[in-house]
C-alpha cells in the first residue's frame, strides 16, 4: 500500500491587504520586543527578593517577623496591638531575668557550683537515655581522670634504677616494633618484620592498642601520641574477617577503654564503642552465650571446631564482663551490660558438678560439654572476672562476689593439692580425675586469690593470703628449676617430678605475664621484698635470653642450654609483662587498687563508684 504526497495549499488573501511588514517596520518591532524581554529579565535578577515582597501581599506574616525588620507601622491598628503585647512580654522577661540574676548573686559560690553540676548532669542523663547507636553518636561525658594514672619516682634508689630499667626494656620493645612492624599486629624480632595471628582477622595494630596504656603510665608521651595518631587514622574495624571475640575484647576493647580513662581522649571512647557494637552479633544464639568466633562484617558466628560438641569456652564468654559494663557506661547503651548479665543467668540455672564450672558450654542447648575444669587455659579469666566485677562495681555486685567465692571454695576442695615436698599447685579436673599439671597461665591465680582475700567470707582472709603466697612460691620454683630461669608453659607434679615440664611441647616460654602478675599483687599486699627479688630475677633472664637486636622473642625450650627463638614478640609482653614489672617497682599509689581494676590483659579500668550514680559521667 502507497502514501499520498502532502501538498501545501496557501489560503486565499484579499488583494488590497499587505501580506508582510516592510524591513524598517520589522526592525522597530524587534527593538520594542527585545526591550520588553530585557525589562522582564532585569526584574527577575536585580529587583529585591520577590517572595518577601509577595509574602506581604499574599501571606499573613507574624507581628514578630514584621517588627524585626522595620519596626511598628503606625498605620496598622492590628499590628500596633501585637506590638504592645510583645513589648509587655519582653519587659516581663527582663524583669524575671533580673530577679534570677539577683537571686544567683546572693547564693554562695558552692551553691552556684552545685546548680551548674545538677544542670549538666540533667543534660547528660537526657542524652544518655537516648543511647548511642554508633561510635560517632555518643552522649556527652565530662571526663575526670581517676587517681594514680602516673606515679611518683620510688624513694629507694635501687628500686628507682630497676624501674628505669623496665622502662628502657619497654622502649626497646616499642622502638623495635615501630621500626620493623609498624601497623602489623605483632613483631617478629629476629627476622625483623611484621606478624599476625588469625585471632584478629584482618584487624591491625594489636601491639599499638595493647601498648597504649603501658606507654602512658611509663610517661612515654611522645610514643603515646604516635600510637594515638595511628589509632585515629588507621585503626579500622570495617573488615570482612573472622575474629576471636575474646581476644579482640580483652586486647582491643580493653586497651582502648584504658587509653580513654587514662588520657581522656575521645577517640578511644569512640573506637571502643564502635568495636563493642561490632561484637554484639556474637550473642545471637538461642541462649545468649556468645560464639567464640565472629565475622565482623556478616555478623555470623561459630565456635572453635575443636571445642567439645560445638561448645563455647568458659574463659572466653566469661571474660567480657568488665569491658562490656564500661561500654554501657560510656555509650549510654545498656545492651552491652544486658548481654553479659544474661551469661550469669544461664550459668546460675545450671547444675555444677561438685560446684565446679566445666570449660565447655553449648550455646544452643545451654548444656555443659565435656566435664573438664581448669583454672588455667580455657577457664582462668572467668574466675578472675567474677571477682573483679564485684570490685569494679565498688563492691555492689553481690552476685559476682558470691559466684567467685563459691567457685574458689570448689577449686580449693577439688583441684588444689600439695606435692610431696610441700609445693601447692592447682591441678586440672577431667570428669572427676585429676591431671597433676599446672599451666603457666594458672599462675595468675596467686594474684587473684590475694586480691580477693580481703573480702573472703568467714575468717578466710589469712588462709587465702597463705594460699596465694604458696602459689607464688610454686610458680617461682617452676622458673628456678629451669636452665634459662624462665618458666615453662606447663609443669607437672607426677612421675617423680615437681614443678618441672616433662613433655617437649610444654617447655616453651612465650613472654607470658602470669607469674610476674602474681609477684606484683603479692608485693602490693605484703611488701615482702622477695617478690621484687623474684621479679628482678625474671628481668635478668629476659634480658639475657629473650632480648635480641630487634626486640624480645619467646623461646622454645627453657631447659636448653641456650635459647632457640620462636621469633614472636607477643603484644601481651608490652601490655602485661612489662606493665606488671614496672608496677612491681613502683609505689603503691600508681594505679592504686582502690581506684583501678586490671582486665585480664592488664588494662586498667576504673572502679565505678556507687555514690555517684546520680552523676553517671563521673569516674570517681
Q: What is the DSSP string of 22-60?
A: -HHHHHHHHHHHHHHHHHHHHHHHHSS-HHHHHHHHHSP
Distance, in Å, from the CA atom of 602 to the CA atom of 513, rounded to the nearest integer, reads: 9
Positive or negative, the Cα torsion across 454, 460, 463, 464? negative
* Cβ-proximal residue to ligand DMJ, closest one: 600
CB of 189 to ligand DMJ, least distance (A): 17
Q: Which of 514, 566, 567, 576 is the catalytic position?
A: 514
Query: What is the Cβ-side half-sphere exposure of residue 98, based on CA atoms within 13 angstroms?
Result: 6
Residue 68 marked as a ligand binder? no
Residue with smaller CB distance to ligand DMJ, 197 or 413: 197
Distance, in Å, from the CA atom of 289 to the CA atom of 282, rounded to the nearest integer, reads: 8
Q: At what angle do helices 335-349 and 398-414 cross, to 10 degrees?
A: 40
Residue with smaller CB distance to ligand DMJ, 199 or 226: 199
Grid cell digits, residue 434 = 585429676
Distance, in Å, from the CA atom of 255 to the CA atom of 177, rounded to the nearest integer, reads: 17
Decide: helix, strand or coil at residue 464: helix
Please identify which residue in the block is written with the cell numbers 601447692: 424
Residue with smaller CB distance to ligand DMJ, 388 or 512: 512
Closest CA to 231 of 207, 261, 202: 207
CB 121 within 8 A of CB 133: no
Strands 551-552 and 547-548: antiparallel
Residues that bind ligand DMJ (CB under 6 A): 381, 441, 512-513, 572, 576, 600-601
Residue with smaller CB distance to ligand DMJ, 375 or 608: 375
CB of 572 to ligand DMJ, least distance (A): 4
Residue with smaller CB distance to ligand DMJ, 63 or 245: 245
Closest CA to 247 of 302, 197, 199: 199
CB of 175 to ligand DMJ, least distance (A): 22
Residue with smaller CB distance to ligand DMJ, 277 or 384: 384
Can 76 be counted among the known catalytic residues? no
Grid cell digits, residue 552 = 624480645
CB of 481 to ligand DMJ, least distance (A): 20
Closest CA to 350 of 289, 425, 264: 289
CB of 234 to ligand DMJ, least distance (A): 23
Q: Which of 274, 380, 397, 618 is the catalytic position?
A: 380
Q: To which H or E segment does residue 309 belong? A: none
Residue with smaller CB distance to ligand DMJ, 570 or 617: 570
Can 156 be counted among the known catalytic residues? no
Q: What is the DSSP string of 197-243?
A: -GGGTT---HHHHHHHHHHHHTT-HHHHHHHHHHHHHH------SEE
Closest CA to 344 of 393, 382, 292: 382
CB 566 within 8 A of CB 203: no
Residue with smaller CB distance to ligand DMJ, 135 or 379: 379
CB of 293 to ligand DMJ, least distance (A): 17
Closest CA to 386 of 410, 368, 370: 410
Can 489 be counted among the known catalytic residues? yes
CB of 615 to ligand DMJ, least distance (A): 32
Q: To which H or E segment does residue 445 belong? A: helix 444-453
Can 380 be counted among the known catalytic residues? yes
Ranges of beta strands (E only) in 91-190 are 186-188
Radius of gyration in angstroms for the set of CA atoms belonging to the chain, rounded to a whole number: 36
Q: To which H or E segment does residue 490 belong? A: strand 490-492
Q: Which of 213, 397, 489, 576 is the catalytic position?
A: 489
Grid cell digits, residue 214 = 603501658
CB of 573 to ligand DMJ, least distance (A): 9
Residue ranges for the binding site?
Answer: 600
Residue ranges for the binding site for Ca(2+)?
Answer: 600
Query: Which positions are catalytic?
Result: 247, 380, 489, 514
Amino acid at each position: 500500500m502507497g502514501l499520498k504526497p502532502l501538498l501545501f495549499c496557501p489560503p486565499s488573501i484579499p488583494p488590497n491587504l499587505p501580506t508582510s511588514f516592510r524591513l524598517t517596520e520589522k526592525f522597530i518591532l524587534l527593538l520594542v520586543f527585545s526591550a520588553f524581554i530585557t525589562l522582564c529579565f532585569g526584574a527577575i535578577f536585580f529587583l529585591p527578593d520577590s517572595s518577601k515582597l509577595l509574602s506581604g501581599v499574599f501571606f499573613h506574616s507574624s507581628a514578630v517577623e514584621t517588627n524585626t525588620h522595620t519596626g511598628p507601622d503606625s498605620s496598622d491598628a492590628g499590628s500596633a496591638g501585637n506590638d504592645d503585647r510583645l513589648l509587655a512580654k519582653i519587659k516581663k522577661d527582663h524583669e524575671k531575668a533580673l530577679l534570677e540574676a539577683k537571686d544567683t548573686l546572693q547564693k554562695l559560690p558552692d551553691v552556684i557550683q552545685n546548680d551548674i553540676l545538677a544542670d549538666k548532669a540533667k543534660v547528660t542523663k537526657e542524652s544518655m537515655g537516648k543511647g548511642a547507636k554508633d561510635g560517632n553518636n555518643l552522649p556527652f561525658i565530662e571526663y575526670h581522670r581517676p587517681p594514680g594514672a602516673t606515679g611518683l619516682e620510688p624513694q629507694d634508689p635501687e628500686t628507682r634504677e630497676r624501674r628505669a630499667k623496665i622502662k628502657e626494656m619497654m622502649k626497646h620493645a616499642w622502638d623495635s616494633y615501630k621500626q620493623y612492624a609498624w601497623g602489623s599486629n605483632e613483631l617478629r624480632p629476629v627476622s625483623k618484620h611484621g606478624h599476625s595471628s588469625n585471632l584478629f582477622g584482618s584487624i591491625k595494630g594489636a601491639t599499638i592498642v595493647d601498648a597504649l596504656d603501658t606507654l602512658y603510665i611509663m610517661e612515654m608521651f611522645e610514643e603515646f601520641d604516635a600510637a594515638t595518631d595511628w589509632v585515629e587514622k588507621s585503626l579500622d574495624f570495617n573488615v570482612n574477617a573472622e575474629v576471636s571475640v575474646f581476644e579482640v575484647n580483652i586486647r582491643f576493647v580493653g586497651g582502648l577503654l584504658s587509653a580513654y580513662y587514662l588520657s581522656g581522649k575521645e577517640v578511644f571512647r569512640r573506637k571502643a564503642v564502635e568495636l563493642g557494637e561490632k561484637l554484639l552479633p556474637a550473642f545471637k544464639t538461642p541462649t545468649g552465650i556468645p560464639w567464640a568466633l565472629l565475622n565482623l562484617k556478616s555478623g555470623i558466628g561459630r565456635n572453635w571446631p575443636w571445642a567439645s560438641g560445638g561448645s563455647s569456652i568458659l574463659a572466653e564468654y566469661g571474660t567480657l564482663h568488665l569491658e562490656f559494663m564500661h561500654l554501657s557506661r560510656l555509650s549510654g547503651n545498656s545492651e552491652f551490660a544486658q548481654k553479659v548479665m544474661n551469661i550469669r543467668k544461664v550459668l546460675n540455672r545450671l547444675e555444677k558438678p561438685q560446684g565446679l564450672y566445666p570449660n565447655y558450654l553449648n550455646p544452643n542447648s545451654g548444656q555443659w560439654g565435656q566435664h573438664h575444669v581448669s583454672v588455667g587455659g580455657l577457664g582462668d579469666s572467668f574466675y578472675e572476672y567474677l571477682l573483679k566485677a564485684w570490685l569494679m562495681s565498688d563492691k555492689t555486685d553481690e552476685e559476682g562476689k558470691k559466684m567467685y567465692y563459691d567457685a574458689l571454695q570448689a577449686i580449693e576442695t577439688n583441684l588444689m593439692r600439695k606435692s610431696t615436698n610441700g609445693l601447692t599447685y592447682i591441678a586440672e579436673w577431667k570428669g572427676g580425675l585429676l591431671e597433676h599439671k599446672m599451666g603457666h597461665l594458672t599462675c595468675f591465680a596467686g594474684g587473684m586469690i590475694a586480691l580477693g582475700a580481703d573480702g573472703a567470707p568467714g575468717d578466710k582472709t589469712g588462709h587465702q593470703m597463705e594460699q596465694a603466697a604458696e602459689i607464688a612460691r610454686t610458680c617461682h620454683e617452676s622458673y628456678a628449676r629451669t636452665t634459662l630461669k624462665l618458666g615453662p608453659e606447663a609443669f607437672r607434679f607426677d612421675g617423680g617430678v615437681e614443678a618441672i615440664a616433662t613433655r617437649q611441647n610444654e617447655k616453651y616460654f612465650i613472654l607470658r605475664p602470669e607469674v610476674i602478675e602474681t609477684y606484683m599483687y603479692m608485693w602490693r599486699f605484703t611488701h615482702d621484698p622477695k617478690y621484687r627479688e623474684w621479679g628482678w630475677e625474671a628481668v635478668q633472664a629476659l634480658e639475657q635470653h629473650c632480648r635480641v637486636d630487634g626486640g624480645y622473642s619467646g623461646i622454645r625450650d627453657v631447659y636448653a642450654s641456650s635459647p632457640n627463638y620462636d621469633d614472636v614478640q607477643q603484644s601481651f609482653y608490652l601490655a602485661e609483662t612489662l606493665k606488671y614489672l614496672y608496677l612491681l617497682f613502683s609505689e603503691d599509689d600508681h594505679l592504686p587498687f582502690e581506684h583501678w581494676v586490671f582486665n585480664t590483659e592488664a588494662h586498667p579500668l576504673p572502679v565505678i563508684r556507687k555514690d555517684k550514680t546520680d552523676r553517671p559521667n563521673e569516674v570517681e
